[in-house]
Amino acid sequence: MTRSSGTISDAPIPTVVLGGTGYVAGELLRLLAGHPRFELAAVLSDSQPGEPVAKAFPHLAAAYRDTRFSSQAEVRALVSSAAECAVFSAAPHGVSAALIDSLLRAAAQAGTRPRVVDISADFRFRSPAAYEAVYKHAHDAPARLPEFTCAVPEHLRKLDTPHVAHPGCFATATLLASVPLLSLGLTPPVLFVTGITGSTGAGRKPVEGTHHPLRHSDLYSYNALAHRHAPEVAACARAATGVEAEFAFVPHSGPFARGIHVTVQAPLKTPIDTPKMLAALREFYAGSEFVRVTNTAPRVKEVATTNYAHLSAVANGRTVAVMCVVDNLNKGAAGGAVQWMNRIFGLPETEGLTACAPGWT
Question: The domain spanning residue 53 has which CATH number?
Answer: 3.40.50.720
58 and 178 in a single domain? The answer is no
Domain shared by 112 and 239, yes or no: no
What's the pTM?
0.95
Identify whether residues 175 and 306 lie together within a single domain.
yes
* Residue at which a domain ends, from 85, 116, 150: 150
Does residue 95 sit in the same domain as residue 211?
no
Is there a domain that residue 350 lies in? no
Q: How far is CA 217 from the centre of its chain?
A: 27
Question: What is the CATH classification number for the domain harbouring 248?
Answer: 3.30.360.10
Distance of CA 170 to the CA centre of its chain: 9
79 and 221 in a single domain? The answer is: no
Whether residue 184 sits in one domain with residue 273: yes
Instruction: Indicate if 188 and 49 belong to the same structural domain.
Output: no
Q: Has residue 270 been placed in a domain?
A: yes
* Domain residue limits at 42: 13-150
SS3 211: coil
Q: Contact, 323 vs 177, CB < 8 A?
A: yes
How far is Cα 227 from Cα 277, in angstroms, rounded to an integer? 29
In a domain, 358, yes or no: no
Q: Which of 277, 273, 259, 275 is nearest to 177 (CA)?
A: 277
Same domain for 288 and 323? yes
Asked if 209 and 290 sit in the same domain, the reply is yes
84: closest CA among 342, 345, 340, 346? 345
98 and 210 co-located in one domain:
no
Cβ contacts of residue 299 below 8 Å, gap of 6+?
310, 325
How many domains would you assign to the chain? Answer: 2
Active-site annotation holder among 85, 150, 169, 236:
169
Asked if residue 255 belongs to a domain, the reply is yes
The answer to whether residue 305 sits within a structural domain is: yes
Closest CA to 356 of 293, 289, 302, 292: 302
336 in a structural domain: no
Assess if residue 241 is contained within a domain: yes
Q: Residue type for 24, please?
A: V
> Alpha-carbon distance 44 to 50, whole Å?
10
User: Does 324 participate in catalysis according to the annotation?
Assistant: no
**Tens-of-pLDDT digits for all 361 residues of the chain?**
334 444 456 899 999 999 988 999 999 999 999 999 999 999 999 888 899 999 999 999 999 999 999 999 999 999 999 999 999 999 999 999 999 999 999 999 999 999 999 999 999 999 999 999 999 999 999 999 999 999 999 999 999 999 999 999 999 999 999 999 999 999 999 999 999 999 887 666 767 766 777 788 999 999 999 999 999 999 999 999 999 999 999 999 999 989 999 999 999 999 999 999 999 999 999 999 999 999 999 999 999 999 999 999 999 999 999 999 999 999 999 999 999 999 999 999 999 999 999 988 7
φ and ψ at residue 267, rounded to 5 degrees: -75, 150
141 & 177 share domain? no
Q: Is residue 1 part of a domain?
A: no
Count of CB atoms within 10 A of residue 1's CB?
12
Please report which helix (H) or strand (E) contains residue 246, including its range. Answer: strand 246-253
Phi, psi of 85 (to 5 degrees): -160, 160
Q: How far apart are alpha carbons 171 and 193 in whole angstroms?
A: 11
